[in-house]
Chain A
Amino acid sequence: MTPAQISQIAFYFFAALAILGAILMVTVRNVVHSAIFLVTSLLATAGIFLTLGAQFLFAVQVILYVGGIMVLFIFVIMLVNLDVALHQVQFNRQKWVALLLTIAMGGQLGLAIWFARTQGTLDIPTGRAGGLSPQNVEQFGLALFEKYALPFEIASVLLLVAMIGAVVMTKRRI
Chain B
Amino acid sequence: MVPIGHYLFVSLALFIIGVIGVVTRRNVIIILMSIELILNAVNINLVAFSHHWASVDGQIFSLFIITDAAAEAAIGLGIIIAFFKNRETLLADEMDLLKW
**CB atoms of B36 and A69 under 8 A apart:** yes
Closest chain B residue to A10 by CB distance?
B2
- Place the interface of chain A in its size category: 35 or more
One of B29, B59, B75, B90 near A54 (C-beta < 8 A): B59
Taken together as a complex, chains A and B put the C-alpha atoms of A113 and B13 apart, in Å, by 12
Taken together as a complex, chains A and B put the C-alpha atoms of A94 and B12 apart, in Å, by 23
B17 surroundings in chain A (CB, below 8 A): 19, 22-23, 25-26
**CB atoms of A61 and B66 under 8 A apart:** yes
B14 surroundings in chain A (CB, below 8 A): 18-19, 22, 41, 45
Q: Report the tally of A-B residue pairs with Cβ distances under 8 A.
A: 236
- The answer to whether A122 and B2 touch (CB under 8 A), given A85-B27, A169-B82, is no
One of B3, B7, B8, B25 near A26 (C-beta < 8 A): B25
Name A57-82 residues within 8 Å CB distance of B: 57, 60-61, 64-65, 68-69, 72-73, 76-77, 79-80, 82
One of B19, B44, B51, B92 near A132 (C-beta < 8 A): B51
- Where the two chains meet, the residues of B that have a C-beta atom closer than 8 Å to any C-beta of A are 1-10, 12-21, 23-27, 29-30, 32-34, 36-37, 40, 43-44, 47-48, 50-57, 59-60, 62-64, 66-75, 77-82, 84, 88, 90-93
